[in-house]
Amino acid sequence: MLNGLWLGFFVVATLAALARWLGGDPGVFAAMVESLFAMAKLSVEVMVLLFGTLTLWLGFLRIAERAGLVDLLARLLGPLFARLMPEVPRGHPALGLITLNFAANGLGLDNAATPIGLKAMRALQELNPSSTTASNAQILFLVLNASSLTLLPVSIFMYRAQQGAVDPTLVFLPILLATSASTLVGLLSVAFMQRLKLWDPVVLGYLIPGALLLGAGMALLAGLSATALAALSSLLGNLVLFGMILAFVLLGALRKVPVYEAFVEGAKEGFDVAKSLLPYLVAMLCAVGVLRASGALDLGLDGIRSLLEWAGWDTRFVDALPTALVKPFSGSAARAMLIETMQSHGVDSFPALVAATMQGSTETTFYVLAVYFGAVGIQRARHAVGCALLADLAGVLASIGVCYWFFG
C-alpha cells in the first residue's frame, strides 16, 4: 500500500505539473525540484526535534516501566484489549503504553504522545510475526492514534487569539463533536476490516462509561467562559505533563528503582529509535512536497468548487478546504492555510471557523504513518491508510456539518 501511495504522489504531481506547464506556467518544475530539497532539509530539522523529545520521554518511560506503572495500566484494561487486540497477551506492556498515548493525545500533549506511541508500536512489533507487514493490533493503534479525540485544542485557541478573535474558544464544541465523529469512524472502519465485535458486553462495559464521562466533561467545559477555558487549558496541560514526570520519578524511587540509571537506559533507546526514522521521513515528506508544489491540490479544490456551483449548493465552506486538503500531508502547511484563511476572510468568518474546526479534528496522517511504521520497519500498511483517511474524511465532513449547525 505504501509503495503504491508513494508512487501515486509522484505520478499525480507529474500530471498536474504538465497541465500547469501547458497552461503557461514554466516555473512549475523548478518549484517541484526546489520542494524536494526543501523537504529533505525539513526532514532533518524534524529529526533534530525528535532526537531530543524521544530521548527525554523514553527515559522517563523506562522509569515508569521498571516501577510497574505500565503493567498496572495493562492489567486494568486487559479485558477490553483482549477483545480489540486479541493477539496481544493480557498484561502486555504495550497495553499500558497505548493507554498513556491516548491520554496524552486527548489532552493535547503532543510532545509526550509521540514518544509514548512509538514505544507502544515497538512493543507491538515484538508480537508481530512479520518484520515488514503491519499486524491487526498495530493498525488499530495507528488509526485510533491518527483519529484520536482531542479534548483541549489549545493551539487552535492560540491561533484565533493571535488573529484577534472576539472569543478564541468559539470553536471548542464544534471541534469536540467533529473529532468525536472522526474517532468513531476510525474505530468502526477498523472493526469492520478486522471483524471485531464492538457489541461484546465487555467492550460496551468500557466504552459506555467512557462516553458518559466524556459527555459530562464536554458539558462542564462548555459552561466555562472563554477566559476560564483558556486558563484551564493551559493549566491542565502543563500540570498533567509535569505531574506525569513527577509520578514516574517518585513511584520509581518508592519501588527502589535506580531512577537515574533507568532514565539513561531509556534515553539511549530513544536515540536509537529517532536515528532509524530519517529514511522514512525523507521519503514521505519529499513525495508530499512534490505533490503540493505541482498544484494538484489547487486543481482538486477548483474542481470541487465548480461541481458545487453546478449543483446549486452553498460554497462558503470551500474556502476552508485548503486546510483539510493539506492536513494529512503536513501539519505546518495546514496551520499556514488556517492562518491565511483567517487573514483573507476574517478570523470569525464562516470559512475561518470551518477551517479551525477541520484543523482540530483531523490529523497529519501520512506523517503519522511514516513515523510510527518507520520506527519499526513496517513497509506494508494493509488497510491502515484507508481506515485512517476515512477517519480524516469523517472529521472534515463533520466539521462542515457542525459549523453549518452552529454558525449557519
The three-state DSSP-derived secondary structure of 98-115 is: HHHHHHHHHCCCHHHHHH
How far apart CA 297 and CA 303 sit, in angstroms, is: 10
Structural domain containing residue 179: 2-407
| pLDDT tens, residue order, the chain (408 aa) | 567 778 888 898 899 899 888 888 888 889 899 988 888 887 787 777 777 777 887 788 788 878 887 677 767 777 877 788 888 887 788 887 888 777 777 655 565 677 788 888 888 898 888 888 888 999 998 898 887 667 667 667 777 877 788 777 778 778 888 888 888 899 899 989 988 888 888 888 877 887 787 777 667 766 666 566 556 655 665 676 688 788 888 988 988 889 899 899 888 877 777 777 778 778 877 887 788 788 887 787 778 878 888 887 877 888 888 888 878 876 766 776 777 778 778 888 888 999 999 988 888 888 788 888 888 888 888 888 889 999 989 999 999 988 888 777
Contact 291, 297 (CB under 8 A): yes
Distances from the Cα of 169 to the Cαs of 33, 108, 221, 240, 343, in angstroms?
40, 15, 11, 21, 18
Question: Position of cell 502543563?
Answer: 238
DSSP element (H, E) containing 363? none
Number of domains in the chain: 1
Q: What is the pTM of this model?
A: 0.71
